[in-house]
Amino acid sequence: MRTPLLYATASVALLLMAAPFLWMALSAFKTKQDLTASPPVWIPSRWTLDNFTALLDQLDMPRYFLNSLIVAVLVTVSNLLFCSMLGYALAKLDFTGRSKVFALVLAALMVPGNLMILPLYVLMNGLGLIDTYAGLVLPFAAGAFGVFLMRQFMLSVPDELLEAARLDGAGEWYIFWRIVLPLVRPALATLTIFTFLGSWNNFIWPLIATNDPDKYTLPVALATFANDPNRTVGGGNGMLMAGSLLVVLPVLAVFAVLQRHFTQGIATAGLK
């Protein structure tokens, strides 16, 4: 009796969480009449791509998509590189001050991200990096959560394996690249999803750090369009739904590719 009740409760919760996404996806294909209908209609009476074509006519979506992709990919790659390197050092290398460095990483986890916006802006502006890809990427090139995740996962790699490699003459770079990284692929997949998702959906920093519309990312471009007083209510909302769907699709694709490693990484990271 408890199992069917549990499944029923989980199904209702899943439906409630999925409802906004379903509404957005269906609204992207609705006509203006369906979007302004009262009461609202879920299923479009006539499926259309007019919202997508109108969006491409009014906004330079390929440029905004490319901006978001460049920033998200660079942030993700840099996090994978730097967080895994520091995580390896904190987990497997014995050096003076290691515990203090790890304490600083834990302290950084407790600092609210919004608290760092003003210092980051002053720093990036002083370096002349406002309105540049570097100004969008460098503040997020490495994160405390990524270092913590990689360190905790690398603790599960047997020290005996690394010692055997050292006895065979392997250097630390060889051990890191050829032995440790292949063993922590689930953690790398987990970090990839979290970092790509956070960077792709980041809104506050790109809004502050970009004045040139040509450097806008997708969230900033859509938010600017949503606040445009010249957009029509019905058709404008349809274009917003179409743009929002375009923003979500790459994230779903990344998760679909890496979901097996992601679930494994979440289940096993931090066990040691």
Tens digits of residue pLDDT in 146-175: 999 899 888 888 888 888 888 888 888 888
133, pLDDT greater than 50: yes
Domains of the chain: 75-268 (1.10.3720.10)
Distance from chain centroid for Cα 49:
28
Q: How confident is the model at residue 2 (pLDDT cuts 50, 70, 90)?
A: low
Give me the percent of the chain exceeding a pLDDT of 90.
14
Other Cβ atoms less than 10 A from the Cβ of 143: the count is: 23
Question: What's the pTM?
Answer: 0.82
76, pLDDT greater than 90: yes
User: How far apart, in whole angstroms, are the C-alpha atoms of residue 48 and residue 50?
Assistant: 6
Helices 2-27 and 233-268, packing angle to 10 deg: 140
> Which pLDDT belongs to residue 54?
80
Show the tokens assigned to 181.
Answer: 């990284």
User: How far apart, in whole angstroms, are the C-alpha atoms of residue 131 and residue 150?
Assistant: 32
User: How far apart, in whole angstroms, are the C-alpha atoms of residue 223 and residue 141?
Assistant: 25
